């Protein structure tokens, strides 16, 4: 797969303490098995028009603290990825959500999101470890992602990475 780690798009803010049931309501988790169809219900309980406001491959999800708390089901990061959201930027992530997201190839960026407003144009270059708020003309510092996790993202997740490489490569 070997996809680019360079993204541009617009900020869609969702707040603090976002749990997995808010990302995708429990009423859909087992009745809709097609992830593309399920992604149409992303954040529906918070904003029924959320999905319609997304621009495919031109959207960032921007949150506060403790994003992804709750259940360990992979549907939550999968619907974000299937909604063609470039990455999730937040002050912090629940540990199981963080792991599930990288397992499926969804970039998560830990940074201060207070200076990002709804609709701001953002640019993220994971190779250069650069995040810019184009609208405000300012850079945003973030915790760099380890190279192995960047490799997972390039391949679309840990399973695709392992299928291609048949082992985990470490730069030792």
CATH of the domain at 31: 3.20.19.10
- Residue-wise burial string across 13-33, b where 16 or more C-beta atoms lie within 10 A, e elsewhere: bbeeebebbbbbbeebbeebe
How is the chain split among helix, strand and coil, in percent rounded to 5? 30, 25, 45
Number of domains in the chain: 1
Position 33 in a domain = yes
pLDDT tens digits in sequence order for the chain, 172 residues long: 457 899 999 999 999 999 999 999 888 877 888 999 999 999 999 999 999 999 989 999 999 999 999 877 789 999 999 999 999 999 999 999 999 999 999 999 999 999 999 999 999 999 999 999 999 999 999 989 999 999 999 999 998 888 888 776 655 4
Crossing angle, helix 158-165 and helix 95-104, to 10 degrees?
A: 40
Q: What count of other Cβ atoms lies within 10 Å of the Cβ of residue 144?
A: 12
Crossing angle, helix 95-104 and helix 147-155, to 10 degrees?
A: 50
H runs (alpha helix) in 24-94: 26-29, 35-39, 50-53, 75-82
Position 124 in a domain = yes
Position 77 in a domain = yes
H or E element in which residue 8 lies: strand 6-15
CA distances from 139 to 4, 123, 124, 164 (A): 20, 9, 10, 35
Domain range for 102 is 6-165
């Amino acid at each position: 797969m070997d996809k680019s780690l360079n993204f541009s798009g617009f900020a869609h803010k969702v707040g603090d303490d976002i749990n997995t049931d808010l990302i995708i309501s429990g009423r859909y988790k087992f009745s809709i098995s097609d992830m593309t169809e399920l992604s149409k219900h992303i954040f529906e309980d918070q904003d029924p028009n959320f999905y319609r406001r997304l621009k495919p491959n031109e959207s960032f999800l921007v949150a506060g603290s403790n994003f992804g708390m709750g259940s360990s089901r992979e549907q939550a990061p999968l619907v974000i990825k299937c909604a063609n959201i470039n990455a999730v930027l937040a002050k912090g992530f629940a540990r199981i959500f963080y792991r599930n997201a990288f397992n499926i190839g969804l970039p998560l960026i830990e940074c201060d999101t207070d200076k990002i407003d709804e609709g701001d144009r953002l640019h993220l270059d994971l190779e250069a470890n650069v995040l810019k708020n184009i609208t405000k003309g300012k850079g945003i510092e973030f915790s760099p992602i380890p190279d192995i996790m960047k490799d997972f993202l390039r391949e679309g997740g840990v399973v695709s990475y392992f299928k291609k490489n048949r082992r985990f490569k470490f730069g030792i």
